[in-house]
């Protein structure tokens, strides 16, 4: 039983952390332009 | 950046965000070019391209406005339009809300399952109570948050005296949650928190899939009118000019149109000559020469001018506004279409409610007590709740639309797929739809040297005919001859020097209907005819359609003779000289006779018909308006995708029906268990996941639907 007292909060906490990260990502428009993200890696930054 | 530094401190520096639609963004290079190009400008703080939405967001100060930024974008080589008050924002918000609800439901489901598994495997006493309490603690906020999309939709339906899929879902979830909470408080054996949250998770998956697929829906009529010129320079009675807004124009006024400006009203040319780009109206990229006495329409762009135009129709009377109105009205009939899932739920929802109620009444009569009866009624609701039904349609449609987009057909939403599957007659526009819509030169009269010279000249010119010629010759593997002293004069042609001989490429000498070019090498003359060719596979595509039981006809604004020629070539019926109103009338007549017409067209004059038809497809070269009005857009030079789209959508609906059938079989098996009071939370959870998995697996078979 005493193990549960630690493990359950840990499980919940990690889940909540994942959820928080997902919400953060949504809010910061990380999923707004998925095709664009795939294209952008091809842009050559050195080019002048 | 220096500009910022030189500003006096404290001076207000208003920042503006302007958004443009730039359909021409196709690759990483375009992103880099636009972002670098715009960011270099003074007063532009940032430019960000959204590749998926083909949009550019620019943050700038008051030194820039919409028009000047559009000019800058044009300078970079991209045609841009100001994005009207973002019509996608609504859809976008909806998708985000669903995704967030889905994430929360997923989080809740996983944690509650974790606790439930130990209860199922025999945890008892204090441990079980603790776990039930923990589950309740997680489930209550999760249900309150993730259930909102269903609750609000159910409430809306009930308020209007209707019932939809969301009513049994909401009742099931709410009752299960409340009863489980009651069980928890009194220390009962079974809590259905896992079932309720899992139900929400699966249903939200279906909804989120559906919303994601909708992606780019029609941006609406707003975009159409934004193309119309916003201002016009009007000549007053005393000879002075003033700049008026489009809405202040009236018939009888005289306006001065400089090169590069979009016409703000319909009119007749009084003075001057030039070329206008009618692509907005016709979808044709070739500019048209106009001179005194010709009629010009609002939305056309003057390429070279200037012109003096007498306004004959302004504002709501212009051809453009008329077409917008027709489209608006025509589109309304389509919005009355009822999605298959909603049709199914019309029968489903009352049946489920009655069943649950009967179960409750039956067990009460049998003397089981209200608590026991209630638990059984809830088990019936949870088991019958349309998990599989909620996934049946979106899962199949998402997989199918993915397959279609790989085959070159972009379908706008699920309802489009459903309607495409039902069509039984196809109406085709001619130019740009059955044909490629671009002039292809006939170079058979040229010998090898002539071809080399022609390419040398043509590739130096930006004229559409020259570009067509150059493309065709390069395709044939011709190597360009070296031409020196190249000189192009607009409207006349291009000349140059080839090995000491004067060579020219200019307008054909004969006055023919089809555009033609003449190549001169010294004294030798070669005529190069241009024709708008049929798409290479037009015949086979139409044959495939007729195999699917769809007869085809041509409905074109072109002359009767031209249409008949193509019609007899393809052996289908053809109607020429058809105006947009006539197309609508013909569609209405077909609909009245019980047909479900498919319209395939590209020009703006097809817009109303595209919006009115049961389903519609436009080629990727179509005018923006037509692409927006159509349910699907097909890319490439072949017509085959049209047949593919119909076939794939029919296969999709077959799979959807299989999914429905499966859901019904599942219910037939599971409901007796529930009625008998044998469904524990464990059985409910297994049934629900299993049925959802089977439906998704069945839908995945569509991945090859478009082959």
The residue that leads in pLDDT, B592 or B405, is B592
List the single residue in B27, B53, B134 with the smallest CB-CB distance to A8.
B134
Residue B45's nearest CA partner among B57, B33, B53, B55 is B57
Q: Is residue A33 part of a domain?
A: yes
Residue B517's nearest CA partner among B566, B450, B436, B431 is B450
Residue B401 and residue B420 in contact, taking contact as beta carbons nearer than 8 Å? no
The predicted pLDDT at position B638 comes to 85
**Interface residues of chain B, partner chain A, Cβ below 8 Å:** 27-29, 31-32, 49-53, 96, 99-100, 103-104, 107, 110-111, 114, 127, 134, 138
The predicted pLDDT at position B216 comes to 43
Min Cα–Cα distance to chain B from A25, Å: 11
The predicted pLDDT at position B91 comes to 62
Mean pLDDT of chain B: 79
Contacts of B479 (CB under 8 A, 6+ apart): B452, B455
- Omega cis (within 30) before B44: no
Lowest mean pLDDT among B67-71, B252-256, B603-607, B651-655: B603-607
Residues from chain A contacting residue B139 (CB–CB below 8 Å): none
**Range among B178-187, B318-327, B345-354, B471-480 rated most confident:** B178-187
Structurally, at CATH architecture level, domain B229-316 sits in Distorted Sandwich (2.70)
Residue bearing tokens 């009084």: B270
Question: Are A33 and B134 an interchain contact pair (Cβ–Cβ within 8 Å)?
Answer: no
The predicted pLDDT at position B3 comes to 41
Angle, alpha carbons B591-B592-B597 (nearest 5°): 10
CA-nearest residue to B110 within chain A is A15
Residues from chain A contacting residue B96 (CB–CB below 8 Å): 26
Residue bearing tokens 């909806």: B94
Contacts of B138 (CB under 8 A, 6+ apart): A12, B108, B111, B112, B193
DSSP state of B24: T
The predicted pLDDT at position B223 comes to 45
B116-139, pLDDT tens digit by residue?
Answer: 888 888 877 888 888 899 999 999
**B669 CB neighbour count, 10 Å cutoff:** 11
Average pLDDT over residues B461-475: 75
Question: Are A36 and B31 an interchain contact pair (Cβ–Cβ within 8 Å)?
Answer: yes
CA-nearest residue to B37 within chain A is A48
Give yes or no for residue A48 having a pLDDT over 60.
Answer: no
Residues from chain B contacting residue A26 (CB–CB below 8 Å): 96, 99-100
Q: Is residue A44 part of a domain?
A: yes
Min Cα–Cα distance to chain A from B68, Å: 25
Q: Output the CA torsion sign for B455, B460, B461, B467.
A: positive
The predicted pLDDT at position B279 comes to 63
Give yes or no for residue B513 having a pLDDT over 90.
Answer: no
Backbone angles phi, psi at B65, to 5 degrees: -140, 180
Average pLDDT over residues B330-354: 72
Tokens of B707: 């082959």
Structurally, at CATH architecture level, domain B440-531 sits in 3-Layer(aba) Sandwich (3.40)
Give yes or no for residue B215 having a pLDDT over 70.
Answer: no
Q: Reduced to 3 states, what is the DSSP secondary structure of residue B705? A: coil
Name which of B25, B111, B124 to mutate to probe chain A: the one with the most chain A Cβ atoms within 10 A of its Cβ.
B111
Q: Is residue A45 part of a domain?
A: yes
pLDDT band at B17; cut points 50, 70, 90: confident
Q: Is residue A37 part of a domain?
A: yes
Average pLDDT over residues B664-691: 82
Residue bearing tokens 């006779």: B593
Type and span of the H or E element at B440:
strand B440-442
The predicted pLDDT at position B145 comes to 94
**B82 CB neighbour count, 10 Å cutoff:** 16
Question: Are A1 and B53 an interchain contact pair (Cβ–Cβ within 8 Å)?
Answer: no
Cα gap B397→B415, rounded to integer Å: 9
pLDDT band at B288; cut points 50, 70, 90: confident
B50-107, pLDDT tens digit by residue?
Answer: 877 777 888 888 888 877 888 888 888 777 777 655 444 556 777 888 889 999 999 9
Residue B133 and residue B180 in contact, taking contact as beta carbons nearer than 8 Å? no
Q: Reduced to 3 states, what is the DSSP secondary structure of residue B556? A: coil
> What's the domain range around A24?
20-48
The predicted pLDDT at position B332 comes to 63
How many domains does one find in chain A?
A: 1
Question: Are B32 and A44 an interchain contact pair (Cβ–Cβ within 8 Å)?
Answer: yes
Name which of A20, A21, A32 to mutate to probe chain B: the one with the most chain B Cβ atoms within 10 A of its Cβ.
A32
Tokens of B474: 């390069």
Residue B348 and residue B168 in contact, taking contact as beta carbons nearer than 8 Å? yes
State how beta strands B615-619 and B632-634 pair.
Answer: parallel
Average pLDDT over residues B464-481: 78
Q: To the nearest whole percent, how much of chain B has pLDDT over 70?
A: 87
Give yes or no for residue B559 having a pLDDT over 80.
Answer: no
Strand partners, B506: B493, B518
Contacts of B528 (CB under 8 A, 6+ apart): B441, B442, B443, B445, B446, B454, B469, B508, B516, B517, B518, B519
- Please report, for residues B140, B151, B368, B667, the alpha-carbon distance to residue B381 in angstroms, rounded to integers and kept in the order given: 19, 16, 18, 11
List the single residue in B31, B110, B127 with the smallest CB-CB distance to A40.
B31
Contacts of B148 (CB under 8 A, 6+ apart): B101
Tokens of B311: 């306004």
The residue that leads in pLDDT, B607 or B100, is B100
CA-nearest residue to B55 within chain A is A33
Give yes or no for residue B328 having a pLDDT over 80.
Answer: no
- Reported pTM: 0.71
The predicted pLDDT at position B4 comes to 43
Query: Does residue B429 have an active-site annotation?
Result: yes
**Range among B24-28, B223-227, B657-661 rated most confident:** B657-661
Choose which CATH entry (3.30.70.100, 1.10.10.10, 3.40.50.300, 3.10.450.50) describes domain B2-83: 3.30.70.100
Q: Reduced to 3 states, what is the DSSP secondary structure of residue B6? A: helix
Cα gap B393→B45, rounded to integer Å: 45
CA B420 to chain CA centroid, Å, is 14
DSSP state of B238: T
Residue B614 and residue B423 in contact, taking contact as beta carbons nearer than 8 Å? yes
The torsion region of residue B471 among left (phi > 0), alpha (psi -120 to 50) and beta comes to alpha
Question: Are A47 and B32 an interchain contact pair (Cβ–Cβ within 8 Å)?
Answer: yes
Residue B294's nearest CA partner among B315, B309, B282, B278 is B309
Residue B90 and residue B222 in contact, taking contact as beta carbons nearer than 8 Å? no
Around B196, how many Cα atoms within 13 Å sit in the side-chain half-sphere?
30
User: Domains of chain B: which residue ranges?
Assistant: 2-83, 90-215+337-395+652-704, 229-316, 396-437+535-651, 440-531
Residue B171's nearest CA partner among B353, B344, B348, B345 is B353
Question: Are A19 and B51 an interchain contact pair (Cβ–Cβ within 8 Å)?
Answer: no
Q: Is residue A14 part of a domain?
A: no
Question: Are A19 and B103 an interchain contact pair (Cβ–Cβ within 8 Å)?
Answer: yes
Average pLDDT over residues B434-443: 76
Backbone angles phi, psi at B531, to 5 degrees: -135, 150
Question: Are B52 and A34 an interchain contact pair (Cβ–Cβ within 8 Å)?
Answer: yes
**B8 CB neighbour count, 10 Å cutoff:** 5
Min Cα–Cα distance to chain A from B172, Å: 26
B139-164, pLDDT tens digit by residue?
Answer: 999 999 999 999 998 898 888 887 77
Contacts of B380 (CB under 8 A, 6+ apart): B352, B355, B356, B359, B671, B674, B675
The predicted pLDDT at position B292 comes to 81
- What is the CATH superfamily name and number for domain B396-437+535-651? HAD superfamily/HAD-like (3.40.50.1000)
Catalytic residue among B166, B194, B277, B429: B429
Cα gap B703→B707, rounded to integer Å: 9
The predicted pLDDT at position B397 comes to 85
- Where do runs of H (alpha helix) occur along B387-537? 387-406, 414-420, 448-458, 464-475
B613-638, pLDDT tens digit by residue?
Answer: 889 998 877 766 677 778 888 877 88
Backbone angles phi, psi at B243, to 5 degrees: -95, 120
Residues from chain A contacting residue B50 (CB–CB below 8 Å): 32-33, 36
Contacts of B250 (CB under 8 A, 6+ apart): B311, B314
Question: Are A33 and B53 an interchain contact pair (Cβ–Cβ within 8 Å)?
Answer: yes
- Omega cis (within 30) before B169: no
The predicted pLDDT at position B84 comes to 54
Around B335, how many Cα atoms within 13 Å sit in the side-chain half-sphere?
8
Tokens of B224: 């159409």
Question: Are B127 and A1 an interchain contact pair (Cβ–Cβ within 8 Å)?
Answer: yes
Min Cα–Cα distance to chain B from A19, Å: 7
- Residue B627 exposed, middle or buried by CB count within 10 Å (0-12, 13-18, 19+): buried
The predicted pLDDT at position B14 comes to 65
Q: Reduced to 3 states, what is the DSSP secondary structure of residue B190? A: coil
Residues from chain A contacting residue B211 (CB–CB below 8 Å): none
Q: Reduced to 3 states, what is the DSSP secondary structure of residue B291? A: coil
Question: Are B114 and A26 an interchain contact pair (Cβ–Cβ within 8 Å)?
Answer: no
Q: Is residue A32 part of a domain?
A: yes
Residue A37 and residue B55 in contact, taking contact as beta carbons nearer than 8 Å? no
The residue that leads in pLDDT, B363 or B293, is B363
Residue B267 and residue B310 in contact, taking contact as beta carbons nearer than 8 Å? yes
pLDDT band at B285; cut points 50, 70, 90: low
Cα gap B260→B263, rounded to integer Å: 9
Q: To the nearest whole percent, how much of chain B has pLDDT over 90?
A: 7
List the single residue in B28, B52, B111 with the smallest CB-CB distance to A11.
B111
Give yes or no for residue B9 having a pLDDT over 60.
Answer: no
């Amino acid at each position: 039983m005493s193990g549960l007292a630690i493990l359950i909060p840990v499980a919940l906490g990690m889940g909540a952390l994942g959820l928080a990260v997902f919400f953060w990502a949504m809010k910061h428009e990380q999923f707004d332009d998925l095709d664009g993200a795939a294209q952008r890696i091809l842009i050559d930054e050195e080019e002048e | 950046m220096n500009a910022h530094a030189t500003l006096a401190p404290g001076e207000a520096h208003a920042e503006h965000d302007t958004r443009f639609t730039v359909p021409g963004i196709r690759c990483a290079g375009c992103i880099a070019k636009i972002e670098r190009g715009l960011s270099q400008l003074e007063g532009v703080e940032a430019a960000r391209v959204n590749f998926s939405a083909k949009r550019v967001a620019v943050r700038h100060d008051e030194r820039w406005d919409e028009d000047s930024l559009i000019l800058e974008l044009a300078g970079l080589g991209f045609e841009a339009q100001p994005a009207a008050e973002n019509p996608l924002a609504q859809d976008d918000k909806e998708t985000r809300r669903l995704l967030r609800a889905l994430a929360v439901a997923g989080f809740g489901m996983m944690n509650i399952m974790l606790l439930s598994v130990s209860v199922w495997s025999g945890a008892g006493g204090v441990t079980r109570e603790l776990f039930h309490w923990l589950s309740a603690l997680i489930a209550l906020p999760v249900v309150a948050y993730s259930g909102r999309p269903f609750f609000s939709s159910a409430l809306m339906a009930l308020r209007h005296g209707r019932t939809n899929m969301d009513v049994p879902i909401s009742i099931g979830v709410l009752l299960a949650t409340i009863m489980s909470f009651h069980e928890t408080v009194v220390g009962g054996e079974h809590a259905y928190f896992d079932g309720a949250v899992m139900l929400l998770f699966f249903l939200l998956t279906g909804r989120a899939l559906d919303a994601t697929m909708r992606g780019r829906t029609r941006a609406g009529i707003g975009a159409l009118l934004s193309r119309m010129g916003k201002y016009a320079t009007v000549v007053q009675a005393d000879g002075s000019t003033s700049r008026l807004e489009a809405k202040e124009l009236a018939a009888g006024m005289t306006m001065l149109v400089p090169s590069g400006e979009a016409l703000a009203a319909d009119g007749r040319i009084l003075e001057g000559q030039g070329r206008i780009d009618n692509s907005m109206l016709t979808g044709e990229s070739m500019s048209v020469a106009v001179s005194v006495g010709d009629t010009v329409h609002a939305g056309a762009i003057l390429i070279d001018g200037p012109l003096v135009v007498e306004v004959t129709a302004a504002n709501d009377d212009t051809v453009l506004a008329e077409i917008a109105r027709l489209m608006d009205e025509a589109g309304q009939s389509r919005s009355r279409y009822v999605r298959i899932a909603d049709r199914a739920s019309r029968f489903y929802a009352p049946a489920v409610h009655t069943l649950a109620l009967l179960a409750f009444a039956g067990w009460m009569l049998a003397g089981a007590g209200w608590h026991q009866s209630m638990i059984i009624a809830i088990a019936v609701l949870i088991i019958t709740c349309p998990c599989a039904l909620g996934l049946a349609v979106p899962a199949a449609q998402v997989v199918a639309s993915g397959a279609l987009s790989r085959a070159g057909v972009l379908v706008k939403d699920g309802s489009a797929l459903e309607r495409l599957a039902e069509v039984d007659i196809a109406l085709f526009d001619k130019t740009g739809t059955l044909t490629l819509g671009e002039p292809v030169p006939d170079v058979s009269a040229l010998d090898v040297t002539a071809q080399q010279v022609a390419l040398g000249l043509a590739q130096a010119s930006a004229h559409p005919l020259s570009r067509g010629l150059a493309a065709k010759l390069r395709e044939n593997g011709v190597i360009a001859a070296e031409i020196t002293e190249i000189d192009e004069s607009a409207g006349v042609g291009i000349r140059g020097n080839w090995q000491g001989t004067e060579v020219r490429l200019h307008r054909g000498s004969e006055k023919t209907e089809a555009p033609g070019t003449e190549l001169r090498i010294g004294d030798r003359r070669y005529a190069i005819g241009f024709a708008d060719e049929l798409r290479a596979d037009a015949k086979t595509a139409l044959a495939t359609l007729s195999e699917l039981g769809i007869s085809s006809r041509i409905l074109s604004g072109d002359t009767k003779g031209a249409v008949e020629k193509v019609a007899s070539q393809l052996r289908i019926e053809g109607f020429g000289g058809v105006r947009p109103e006539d197309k609508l009338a013909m569609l209405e007549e077909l609909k009245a006779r019980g047909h479900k017409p498919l319209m395939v067209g590209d020009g703006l004059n097809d817009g109303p018909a595209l919006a009115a038809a049961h389903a519609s497809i436009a080629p990727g070269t179509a005018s923006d308006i037509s692409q927006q009005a159509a349910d699907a857009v097909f890319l490439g030079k072949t017509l085959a995708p049209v047949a593919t789209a119909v076939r794939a959508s029919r296969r999709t609906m077959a799979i959807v029906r299989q999914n429905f059938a499966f859901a019904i079989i599942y219910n037939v098996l599971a409901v007796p268990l529930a009625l008998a009071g044998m469904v524990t939370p464990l059985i409910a959870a297994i049934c629900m996941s299993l049925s959802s998995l089977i439906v998704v697996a069945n839908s995945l078979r569509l991945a090859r639907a478009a082959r």
